Amino acid sequence: MGVALSKQWARLLGVASDATLGARVVAWHVPAADSDWVSQVWAWVQAQAGLPAPAIAVDGSQGWLLCFALPSPRPVNEAQAVLRQLIRDGLQQLGVAVSPADAAAWRLTCWPADAPADAGEDAVPVPREVSPDRWSAFVAPDLVPVFAESPWLDCAPSEEGQAVLLSKLVPIPADGWARWLATSCQGLPDSLAAINGRAGSGCQADAQAVAGEGPLSATLSSSGGAAPSDAPRAFLLAVMNDASVDLALRIEAARVLLAHG
């Protein structure tokens, strides 16, 4: 593992001894059949929920990983409950009906708590060789359509390029996490409205402890989110030929073009 990539994962996961503290990064597994959800939720999280963009990765096998960084190590059950609520609300606001049972069936992996027992010191969650000639890897949001039917890379990705993409993943602010923690405890159907209203006393106390402050009065951001490209090949060519884009990303674009024609 390269130094740059190692430093990015260390920034997000902390030291190995923190594994007992639960979750620092949580990955939502999205089947390839639901590829449209990836870009939709990625944009909604920023534009409507007012939170930092999650990182997008192909899982090297069956679909996608949408990765969220947490403000501090959180218990696994809490991390999963909050993100199930967040994602379910986002999909419902986007017109996708998701029942509580459907959301409960989603697979959510929490790192470092769910790191493989045999993982070496240099092992990282992504990128990894999942099977021969199939790699998990972070990808730029606009490349989601390119990998919709084959969610993997057929060769090892550039570690420099992976580090650049991972560097864009920043933790959810403590106050933002606190708001969604209070909401997930309530289990209300309309969380966006609930965030700006009252919270149950027990959940509010927990949320304030996470945020390290008093009443939760922050409002949601209305900043816009990018939409996926309608012409993936044209987008890749534009990235590859744009001298202002990081060289590592231009190389990644060229690699994808060669691999997928």
Does the structure show a pLDDT above 90 at 92? yes
Q: Which residues contact 157 (CB under 8 A, 6 or more apart)?
A: 127, 135, 137, 138, 252, 255
Which pair of tokens denotes residue 67? 């990765």
240 found inside a domain? no
- Assigned domain for 120 exists: yes
pLDDT at 246: 59
Neighbours of 168 (CB within 10 A): 14
CB 58 within 8 A of CB 93: no
Is residue 170 situated within a structural domain?
A: yes
CA distances 236 to 159, 182, 229, 239, Å, are 19, 41, 10, 5
CB 27 within 8 A of CB 109: yes
57 domain-assigned: yes
* 223 vs 108, residue with greater confidence: 108
Task: Check residue 184 and give its pLDDT.
Answer: 81
Highest-scoring range by mean pLDDT, 36-45, 118-127, 232-241 = 36-45
Contact yes or no for 139/111 (Cβ under 8 A)? no
Q: For 177-190, what is each residue's pLDDT tens digit?
A: 998 988 887 654 44
Type of residue numbered 20? T
pLDDT (average), residues 106-113: 94
Counted domains in the chain: 1
Per the prediction, the chain carries an average pLDDT of 80
Q: What is the mean pLDDT of residues 183-204?
A: 49
DSSP string, 29-86: EEEGGGHHHHHHHHHHHHHTS--PPPEEEE-SSSEEEEEEEEEEEE-HHHHHHHHHHH
Residue 257 located in a structural domain: no
User: Any idea of the CA torsion for 243, 245, 251, 257, to the nearest 10 degrees?
Assistant: -90
Write out the E strands in the chain: 23-31, 55-58, 63-74, 108-112, 128-131, 134-138
Within-domain flag for 158 = yes
Range of the domain at 90: 3-224
Residue 138 main-chain phi, psi, to 5 deg? -75, 145
Q: Which three-class secondary structure string do you get for 231-242?
A: CHHHHHHHHHHC
Q: Is residue 239 part of a domain?
A: no
Distances in Å between the Cα of 11 and the Cα atoms of 71, 72, 110, 210 are 12, 12, 16, 20
- Say how far apart CA 255 and CA 239 lie, in whole Å: 12
How many angstroms separate the CA atoms of 248 and 259, rounded? 16
Whether 254 is in a domain gets the answer no
Q: What is the pLDDT of residues 115-142, one digit of tens each?
A: 765 555 567 899 999 999 999 999 999 9
State the pTM of this model.
0.73
1 or 159: which leads in pLDDT: 159
Burial (CB count <10 Å: 0-12, 13-18, 19+), residue 139: buried
